[in-house]
Amino acid sequence: MDDWTRKDGKMGRDETDGRPLYRQISSRIHDKIANGFYAVGDLLPTEQEFCQEFGVSRYTIREAIRHLESLGLVSKRQGQGTTVLSSRIRRGTTVALRTFSDIEQHGYHTHLVRLSHGIVTADQTLAADLGVAEGEPLLRLQSMRVPIDDSLPIPKAWNETYILAEYARVVDHLDTLEGPVYLLIERLYNETIGEIDQQISALNAGPEVAKRLGIRARSAVLRLKRTYIGRNNRIVMVGYNTYAGDQFSVSMRIRHD
């Protein structure tokens, strides 16, 4: 009987493992993929079958499958099940930008290493770039966004985020934050983010960004700008994540309207 087997015969949390339960479960499924129990091309058991096997909720199983998707091991399609794509973790990252869940998934798989923060006032240039009023007070956060552990093939990013100063209390919770920052704003302030606007730019790294990313100055980088829009179409937060250009790509699926 291993650490995962309970007295009732179902799988349970290993209390000696500090990772979230969904990560423990994804590791067990990954082990079965790696040793060939689930071969490339096979369909994985259904969510309900995994719930019974591991003795956990469907939500936990969904998070475990999302984690395996982020590693490039499986692909989940509505109505078709989850198919094994590879027995090895994919290195390098392609991020899907289709739903709020895609963005949240990336937030849960990474965490912020805060470097500096403070209140700034938006001058004409910054206000125009962010889409806020000139003179607006803002909380500016500068940090690195890094994977939560070495098993994740997610490159580090230089992060600069601007949040309306009235929501500045979020800074007190960043060191223990799990997930994206905008969910913290929603919880603390009863705000609702109803829309996220994304812009992708190819740039050359300046000296500071190059140093943070461990690349040469003027190297190609990919910058994702996300504008988070709350109630009454008001901009609540704008975040910039900058990645080394050879480590990051973006996937978008566009449907006919």
- Residue 100 amino acid letter: F
CATH node for 21-84: 1.10.10.10
SS3 50: helix
Regarding pTM above 0.75, the answer is: no
CATH code linked to domain 93-251: 3.40.1410.10
Q: What is the pLDDT of residue 83?
A: 93
Give the per-residue pLDDT at 93.
55
- Write out the residue limits of the CATH 1.10.10.10 domain(s) in the chain: 21-84
H-type alpha helices, the chain: 21-34, 47-54, 58-70, 100-109, 124-130, 181-189, 207-213
- Can you tell me the distance from the alpha carbon of 50 to that of 84, in angstroms, rounded to the nearest whole number? 15
**Confidence (pLDDT) at 8:** 46
Half-sphere exposure of 125 (CA within 13 A, CB side): 0
- Which residue ranges does the chain devote to CATH 3.40.1410.10? 93-251
pLDDT mean values, one per 10 residues, the chain (257 residues): 44 60 90 93 95 93 86 83 84 60 73 92 98 98 86 84 97 86 93 94 95 94 96 96 86 71
Nearest in space to 101 (alpha carbons), one of 62, 75, 72: 62
pLDDT for 151 equals 65
DSSP string, 16-38: T--S-HHHHHHHHHHHHHHTTSS
Distance CA 13, CA 210 (A): 41
**Closest to 225 (Cα-Cα) out of 257, 202, 209, 208:** 202
